[in-house]
Chain A
Amino acid sequence: MSKKVVGESVPKIDAATKVRGQRKFPQDFNMKGQLYAKVVWSEYPHARVLKIDVSPAEALPGVVAILTSEDVPVNEYGIDIVDQPVLVGEGEKVRWLGDRIAIVIAESERIAQEARQLVRVEYEPLPVVSDPREAMKPDAPLIHEERGDSNILKYIKIRKGDIEKGFAEADVVIESYYLTPHVEHAYMQPEAGVGYIDKEGRVTVIAAAQWSHDDLHQISHMLDLPIDQLREIVPAIGGAFGGREDMYIQHLLALCAYCVRQPVKMVFDREESVMRTGKRHPYYIRYRTGATRDGKLTAVEIELISDAGAYASTSIPVLSNTASFAAGPYVVPNAKVDAYTVYTNNAVAMAMRGFGSTQPAFAYEMQMNKLAEALGVDPVELRMKNLLEDGSIALTGNPMPTGVGIKETLRQSALAAGWKEENGGWIKPDLGPPSAPYRRRGIGVACGYKNVGYSFGFDDKSKVIVELALDESGEIARALVKLGASDQGMGAHTALAQIAAEALGVDYEKVRVALVDTSMVPNAGSCSASRHVYMSGNAVIRACQEVLRKREAALRDEIGEKRVVGEYEYRGRSVRPTTPYDPETGMCDPHISYGYATQIALLEVDVETGETEVLKVWAAQDVGKAINPEMVKGQAGGGVHMGLGYALTEEFIQKEGLVKTRRFSEYHIPTVADMSREFIPLIVEVPDPTGPFGAKGVGEMTTLPTAPAIISAIHDAVGVWIDNLPATAEKVWRAMQGRA
């Protein structure tokens, strides 16, 4: 009898090879006879390319080929809308600094580097549109003339109840304007890989990717080749966080291999990774909240404008998510939401941890804390009166499915942080004296929730194959789980191996998960939307049940099978069909499943410098069922890291489409010294009956509450509200001077 596996913090499946430095990442691959490629990037955020002269570069000894737009069979791509050129040709426009003019392929990396500087490009600069609010105006210069007469890519509205009546019933109205900035994913492993033609003649790419099967669809379109002549292999990935959901290097490697028929390696340096790839969307959020004197929310009116940057990427689905979460995890009877995403000449904005749920979380939680202050009520108590429960009607008119754990995350984190519950009311703890006379102490609380899996009617499915090797007595010697789910570091493969071990009744050590190779594994959907434990976990359980049935049959028939195979495709709509927005009212049933989180931050602000030191963070996440508790804690720690950077340190600065923060010395992700001195992760398990062992998702929810909790704690400490992230020391200090 095997031991219990689900719920145990077994060692991660890839940890030992990672601590030895043996695990191969894309830049660690080298092939015999490989060439090296470098990109010639756009020098302008908006310009027409007049002339491209590659001859000085071509003349350099060791240069093998220089690819320009004419070398691309179908020179366009895009994950959602096909609006991006692969290479920009003469007469065409560059729309941001990440556009590419050419790819130089040479015998060595140094020659490729030298040659790309010799390619001469003449531009006619065009007016730069760098603020989406300006870009929305009717007379704004158009970024995509071919796509109609407006830069507005998408508009979504939600109309629920009677907004006039809702505000008329309110005793208090809080109105604010919030700005959330671009965020760089800053995964430690820059884009890299090798493109080559494999033995079967397939154009093959080794690279980090979040959805290889979808990459192949895009590459198939670009090269005008059928999918079966393409292949993508994903080795270890050095972080992704949404940033590898779009292609930034995969298609370029494929193009190089296709054109020169030799292995070609390409590695981005950090500047390329920061300046030339996508970011989290900045949002401009106007927010009005109305509530009665006793703390019941009556209405919200919200305008959200997101900066899509130069190309659509996933800006439309991100906006859809944002709108659905705009009111927060609260019951709000009357609501008006107007949401826009707009083309500009800024960095392309794309998926990043939260997929549009992070930005509204900052706004709605700031509103709740401002409301608590205005009403003179404890912020925990105010939330308890309004939080969603099973069956509550959400902003989009749908009843919340069973498993709403938001109250439990708030209750557990508040109690852990020292709150007292008395007669249904909540009393904030005494924070004690600050550590120095020039410091002030404050505490802040925030909640957040987000979907698990794809939404708005998108057919979310994950296909899994489980192969068993049987020993002579018919016992399971080994199990191999095959699915197109890459593990970008969060531990998806470990969690799925645990689920498989439990479902098969074998030891965890007997289960392996195949690396993603599209020629070997089925499409399991993207490694995003916090979805693999839920979606692929459900598929793994059913594939295991199938393979166990086959094993029984094989043993019964005594046909001497040594290897049995089961497969299953799990579809989200089989348990909860989702629906798109009604175009007039916005009513819909948007999401399959949800995860919930609450965080509380205790900190001190130096009143002389405005500097914040975070002392303690309590982070409670409702994951339904923790498949591997230590991995859940790791997700919480990582979520807090990104949230703390969002709140305090990370400032991606663009001026007129040009990037000022190009390196880690200029764009500051938190070091260990910036993190909270103490961290208290709390695992809450309110099961989702449709999840594997009750599990939901965890990856994204853990970053939603951090920034609003920290910014509200700064207010608690020194009395200023910072509505424009990040709250740098200078910004806090200036706000304090303004208040004095």
Chain B
Amino acid sequence: MVTLKMILNGQEVSVDVEPGDLLADVFRDKLGLIGTKISCGEGECGACTVLVDGKAVDSCIYPALKVQGREVITIEGLGQDNRLDAIQQAFVDKTAPQCGYCIPGMVISAKALLDENPHPTRKEIEKRISGNLCRCTGYYQIIEAIELAAERLAGKGGLE
């Protein structure tokens, strides 16, 4: 066992892991953070997307110890108390979630995009979520939700 320390959703967290443990498993099995989903187990579908130092990574194939000392954000780190953040709210308003299994990963990918590029074109949105598979929606309302979030954030001067 090795002690892994990271800033997780703004809080310092320390957890004992095996050297081979994958980040998604650490969240789900050791920290009780079930919002990070595992779907393909090979980094193809993006359901497990989290942010490591602001960059979107597939946590189902990402060695947990690679986040030693780094800043990590999972879906649980968005929004405050009972309030949704702007991206989450836009997903609700655009009826973007159907089954919802891909949605935490989609929201995190959208956050990575909007943090970096607050005024993305439709093509840029498509590019950034092209690693996130969804079987329910055809992606159309997800794209609309990200556009809406960008629009609302621009009106408010950026992410909260």
Contacts and interface: CB of A to CB of B under 8 A. Distances in A.
Interface stretch (A87-95, A394-402, A587-595, A629-637): A629-637
Contacts, number: 171
Q: Is the interface of B mostly helix, strand, loop or mixed?
A: loop
Given A11-B92, A16-B84, A239-B99, A21 B75 contact: yes
B64 interface: no
Nearest to A269: B41
Interface in A665-702: 665, 669, 671-673, 675, 679
Contacts of B74: 21
B155 interface: no
B59 interface: no
Contact of A239 (B42, B44, B104, B135): B135
Contacts of B103: 18-19, 21
A21 B96 CA distance: 14
A669 B131 CA distance: 12
A190 interface: yes
A38 interface: no
A670 to B, nearest CB: 8
A671 B40 contact: no
A640 B138 contact: yes
B94 interface: yes
B37 A189 contact: yes
Interface in A1-43: 9, 11-12, 14-16, 18-25, 27-28
B56 to A, nearest CB: 15
A672 B126 contact: yes
A62 interface: no
A637 B137 contact: yes
B15 interface: no
A637 B99 contact: no
A532 to B, nearest CB: 15
Interface residues of A, number: 55
Interface residues of B, number: 54
Given A11-B93, A28-B34, A663-B42, A188 B102 contact: yes
A238 B96 CA distance: 14
Given A238-B100, A490-B98, A19 B139 contact: no
Contact of A489 (B44, B93, B100): B100
A549 to B, nearest CB: 34
Contact of A641 (B91, B130, B137): B137
B115 interface: no
B107 interface: yes
B101 interface: yes
B51 interface: no
Contacts of B44: 663-665
Contact of B99 (A24, A238, A664): A238
22 contacts: A11-B95, A12-B95, A15-B97, A19-B92, A21-B34, A21-B75, A187-B101, A188-B45, A189-B37, A237-B99, A238-B100, A270-B40, A489-B97, A489-B100, A630-B95, A631-B95, A634-B98, A664-B42, A664-B133, A671-B131, A672-B126, A679-B140
10 smallest A-B Cβ distances: which pairs?
Answer: A21-B35, A489-B99, A637-B138, A18-B100, A238-B101, A21-B75, A489-B98, A630-B95, A641-B138, A188-B101
Interface of A: 9, 11-12, 14-16, 18-25, 27-28, 185-190, 236-239, 241, 269-270, 488-491, 628, 630-631, 633-634, 636-642, 644, 663-665, 669, 671-673, 675, 679
